[in-house]
Structure 1
Amino acid sequence: MSLRIAYLTGEYPRATDTFIQREVAALRARGLTVESCSMRRTGAEHHTGPEQREEAAGTFHVLEATLSPRCLIAAHLAAWRRPGAWLRTLRLAWRTSPGGVAATLYQFIYLAEAAVLAQHLRARGLTHLHNHIAKSSCTVAMLASEMSGIPYSFTLHGPDIFYEPYRWRLDEKIARARFVACISHFARSQAMAFSSPEHWSKLHIVHCGVDPARYDGPAPDAPAHLLFVGRLAAVKGVPVLLEVLQGLIADHPDLRLTLVGEGPEREDLERLAAPLGDHVDFVGYKSQDEVAALLREATALVLPSFAEGLPVVLMEALAARVPVVTTRIAGVAELVEDGASGLLVPPGDVVALRAALARVLADPEARRRMGEAGRVRVVEEFASESEAAWLAALFEGYATDTPPKTLRPESCA
């Protein structure tokens, strides 16, 4: 069937969410029409390559259109052609407010944005709305769906929404969605905890994927180069990693740590890393190709996070045959098998992280074995092409009232 899908998220394209770009590209390659929408326009620092620049140029920016009085008035006038739907949406916005003056004001801002988005969907002839990240942009998607009659679905990531599920009315979003793509069994279990059992059958698992071919090559043979890729924020556990590094340098005087990414705590982390001198290098955002090149020079990828969904950078490392050292949290163990494709440690445990990194640095044969096992795992269950095929089956199945009955494709169930 011919589906015309709008993809919505808070910021698109974004350097930290390249998996969404891969998903969009893979769906388009399967013949689906996918048009990107973003609540806000991303800055130039996120356009790290031609793929991002091209996507940015073709993206509809909801907030910008809402701030145009002409667009805003036209959208609400168009919505009033279906006054019953507009009033239902108003009631939905009011009813799903978490309370308080500021939160209620934001609900009316979301209502204004929803009208603009609904008008865009109708004008473009789009037949389905899919959202990534189930917070404010998903609230707009839910309201736009109610106003326009166009069904919506969303991808549930976490972990932050699981801290405030009632504020973001995860229960209501799940109930109204055509289906929910959960990135892991862990994410699905959290969705089940905050929704009625009658909706559990439409909670499917769709992994964020990578293109294994982009990272294919011989296993790296770098003796002492650790790589971190992620936001420079407290939740990623970088201070713990820097403390561990101090204890490792004595045994590995050539040890280097490259940190890829930006974030609110970069300056604080740079001050914390200053005593380590040239052993630590902050390099900012990098394109997908640049990250792939860094992985080809890495001994291991280390991600000592305190909270995660299911980090795509772990998939990228394993696809590149690079072992990973990370924390045993959320859905991570669904990807990384401890001792087989990497090492899992308790979050915040300096001693355990130091021991795991020392083990990886000292044993090249174990690194090779874990890297090979990790690549097999990614190719089998985390390839963007096969995950897009499964997501396309969900879009098409629910559109024709013949939804798949399994959590994962039959081949992976």
Structure 2
Amino acid sequence: MPRPRLAYLYSRYPVVSQTFCDSEMLALEGMGFDLEVFSLNPPPDSFRHERLDRLRAEIHYPAPEEARNAQVKQPEFETQLGALIKDHDQRYGKSFKSRTRARNAWHFAPRLRALGVKHVHVHFANRATHSALFLKKLGFTFSFTAHAQDFMVDLGSDDLLREMVREAEFVVAVSDFSRSLLCQTCPGNEAKILRIYNGIELDDFPVAQPAASGSSLRLVSVGRLIEFKGFQHLIPSMTLLKQRGVNAELHIIGEGPARTELEGLITDAGLQQEVKLLGVRSQEQIKRELAEAHAFVLPSIVDSKGASDILPTVITEAMACHLPVVSTTVAGIPEMVRHGETGLLVEPKDEAGMAEALMQLAAQPELRVRMGAAGRKHADMLFALSVTAGALGENFNKVAQSSSQRVEAPIVYVMDDADAEASALHSIANEERLRIIAGGIAGAAAELSPALLNKLEWIPDAVVLESLWLRRTAWRHQIEKLRTALGDALDGEEFYRQARRAVWYAESLPKRGAKVVHAYRSDAVVCVWLVKKLTGLRTTAAIEDAPSLSRAALAKLILDFDLVSVSDEKLCAALPRGVEDTLKLQKPPTHRKLNLGPLKLKVRNTAPVEDRSVMERAWLEKLISLSQKPLHA
């Protein structure tokens, strides 16, 4: 029986510290689930873990704000979502931005339908889950994973949490601690609140040697440099170790607003040689640090706002490496670390107690080995992805409706910016086999028809493009060679802007079955040409009269295209082969001469309103026919 198609909805994706989300989705794909990922916002930076290259799901980002605002001016928006917006504004207040959450749902709903998705899963009880309440109003079902800080501190409304839980098909709590809190806050929903731990692929992690010889005890900690991670209490513990003659070195991996404070504590204590702040590291780099460690330490506390770690994935990763863990009794950590068996626990902020625990491990290498082995066995029982993702998948199978068939989109129109001229595509906007992707908006989004606004997809934020550009080294080198071969035909700054877009297209388009990529006008030709070089997909182009790209450049590039329509007479004359002018994109003359006796006047022409629907349909049919031919025919 085929698995239901699912979408994961995030407030922001990817986030470097939320590796459990990546692990979960990779495991579900391995089980046969077909996933899509939707993110309400771009990622916070361009850092990207290597293993995301294994994710088959396409990541969808929202349109520019102007386009989303234009969409919600459609009368159907108020008809379908207006009452719920008003209700939420009255019950929760304007600060919860119900209209924005509704706009999120309205914007993504057409794409979810086109992708055959009927069920959405969200991580964290936050603005994305609030948006999912509006998706439900539009005919989708949803579930969500609540962690603890999200609903305990960040959400800011127990009433909204209760509505989320009531309307969800099921709710995942990541620990018994979290489940207990949810059940207390949302009575009557106990049956749908399930404890499923965040799992990881344990065998992806190396086996450390916690008893390996060395002049000092090697400690590793991983986490954002924020208050509730407790690093400000770990540094005094390191001072106590040094005072008592215990040689120890500590590597802290992570970045955050507390860096300056921690650097000051390290300097004041004279621990510059013993404690190193390594900053952000990739997952593979973290694995190497763990493999070389004797023990893992995480001094979690409850911060001044009541936030804390709940079930830190980094502890599971350390256990996967056979490392003993020293941590605190905060929240769900005692569910992970069995005191005296898999590691040692102390009370939060107990700097002397933390130092004593570390001294115990420093003095007993055999204890480190025994605890590390017990920790791995404990992780195999509770945190293996085969266990956690398996339980989650069973619940998806129970509640998700049978999915619609995902419609492949063999034809992709690429436009540099959507403008009023793009309205000519209104007549083909409902064609399921067509995707139209724009880099931005030139002019007013209101000039575009509702059907076209709902059809349009958009190039993501520059931080997403930069992330892929940095990761795809081979493509980057190939593009550099192409740039060199073109010489001075193209402006460098514009070339590299288009190159970053081309890498994103090359990454994304094959996931939806693209076969023909069409440059809508000359300003998209460089990008589409690069996509052809990177992927081998067929490419076509429509060149308008007086093109925005130089004729010299176009004359070189479009020779590699499979089909072109050229409306510029000078460019046609420069081409070595005859080309058709199928789309008739000539610009009418702006003035005409008028002779009135001795007077010679120039009169501005009014361009006739032209119905291009027949030509655009005919052109699309040509592209569909081209897509059905064998690639090397």
Q: TM-score, normalising length from structure 1?
A: 0.88
Q: Which residue of structure 1 lines up, in the alignment, with residue 131 of structure 2?
A: 140
Task: Measure, in 1, the Cα distance between the counterparts of 2:239 and 2:56.
Answer: 41
Instruction: Map Cα deviations across residues 173-204 of structure 1 (whole Å, 9 max, x no partner).
Output: 1011000011011111111111122x110011
Per the TM alignment, residue 71 of structure 1 is displaced from its structure 2 partner at its CA by: 4.4
Cα contact 1:130–1:153 (8 A) shared by 2: yes
Distance 1:367 1:76, change over 3 A: farther
- Which stretches in structure 1 are left out of the alignment for 5+ residues? 402-413
User: Could you tell me how far apart the structure 2 residues matched to 1:315 and 1:394 are?
Assistant: 23
**Match for 2:67 among 46, 65, 70?**
70
Deviates more, 1:213-222 or 1:334-343: 213-222
User: Secondary structure of 1:204's match?
Assistant: strand
Query: Does structure 2 retain, via aligned residues, the 8 Å contact 1:37–1:59?
Result: yes
The percent of aligned pairs where both chains have the same amino acid is 30
2:82 equivalent to 1:87: yes
Q: Is the 8 A contact 1:171 1:195 kept in 2?
A: yes
Compared CA separation, residues 213 and 312, structure 1 to 2 (3 A):
same
Match of 2:437 in 1: none
In 2, the alpha carbon distance for the partners of 1:262 and 1:167 equals 29
Which among 227, 235, 260 is matched to residue 234 of structure 1? 227
Kindly report which structure 2 residues correspond to 1:240-251, keeping only aligned pairs within 5 A, or say none: 240-251=233-244
1:274-285 correspondence runs (5 A) = 274=267, 275-285=270-280
Task: Name the CA shift for 1:137/1:384 in 2 (closer, same or farther; >3 Å).
Answer: same
Structure 2 unmatched ranges of 5 or more: 302-307, 403-633
Q: Which residue of 2 aligns with 1:61?
A: 61
Alignment map for 1:60-209 (pairs within 5 Å):
60-62=60-62, 65=63, 67-74=64-71, 77=74, 79-80=76-77, 85-97=80-92, 99=93, 101=94, 103-104=95-96, 106-146=97-137, 148-163=138-153, 167=157, 169-197=160-188, 199-209=189-199
In the alignment, the residues of structure 2 paired with residue 2 and residue 32 of structure 1 have an alpha-carbon distance, to the nearest angstrom, of 5
- Report the Cα offset of residue 79 of structure 1: 5.0
Does the 8 A contact of 2:200 with 2:316 survive in 1? Answer: yes
Partner residue in 2 for 1:366: 367
Question: Match of 1:374, SS?
Answer: helix
Conserved? CA contact 2:240–2:352, under 8 Å: no
- With over 3 angstroms needed to count, the CA separation of the structure-2 counterparts of 1:125 and 1:74, relative to structure 1, is farther
CA deviation map 1:346-381 (0-9, x unaligned): 101112111111111111111111100000011111
User: Residue 135 and residue 172 in structure 1: after superposition, are their counterparts in 2 closer, same or farther (change >3 A)?
Assistant: same
Matched residue count: 389
Which range is displaced more, 287-296 or 209-218? Answer: 209-218
Runs of 4+ in structure 1 deviating by more than 6 angstroms, as ranges, are: none
Aligned to 1:27: 28
- How far the C-alpha of 1:319 sits from its partner, in A, is 0.8
Q: Does 1:290 align with 2:281?
A: no
Query: Is the CA contact 1:225–1:298 (under 8 Å) kept in the aligned structure 2?
Result: yes
Q: CA deviation at 1:268?
A: 1.7
- Give the C-alpha shift of residue 297 in structure 1: 1.0
RMSD: 2.3
Aligned to 1:354, the other structure's residue is in SS state helix
Report the Cα distance in structure 1 between the residues aligned to 2:66 and 2:251, rounded to whole angstroms: 47
Per the TM alignment, residue 220 of structure 1 is displaced from its structure 2 partner at its CA by: 3.0
SS in 1 for 2:105: helix
- 1:219-368 equivalences in 2 (<5 Å): 219-222=209-212, 223-252=216-245, 254-274=247-267, 275-306=270-301, 307-368=308-369
Q: Distance in 2 between matches of 1:351 and 1:297?
A: 26
Structure with the greater alpha carbon radius of gyration: 2
CA distance in 2, matches of 1:76, 1:181: 36
Question: Is the partner of 1:318 in helix, strand or coil?
Answer: helix
Measured against aligned partners, the alpha-carbon deviations of 1:139-187 in whole angstroms (never above 9, x if no partner) come to: 11222222x2100000010134213665262111101100001101111
Q: 1:152 to 1:255 in 2, by over 3 A?
A: same
Q: Supply the distance in 2 between the matched residues of 1:367 and 1:137 (Cα, whole angstroms).
A: 42
Structure 2 contact 26–55 (Cα < 8 Å) conserved:
no
Q: Does the CA contact (< 8 Å) of 1:128 and 1:150 recur in 2?
A: yes
Give the 3 Å change call, closer, same or farther, for CA 389–9 of structure 1 in structure 2: same
Query: Residue deviations 1:45-78, cap 9 Å, x none?
Result: 43142x336769931123xx2x343344346639
Post-superposition Cα deviations, 1:102-121, rounded to whole Å, max 9, x if no partner, equal: x05x2222222221122332
- Greater relative CO (CA pairs within 8 A, separation 6+): 1
Is 1:210 the equivalent of 2:211? no
Q: Larger deviation: 164-173 or 270-279?
A: 164-173
2:232 corresponds to which letter in structure 1?
P
State the one-letter code of the partner of 2:260. E
SS in 1 for 2:271: helix
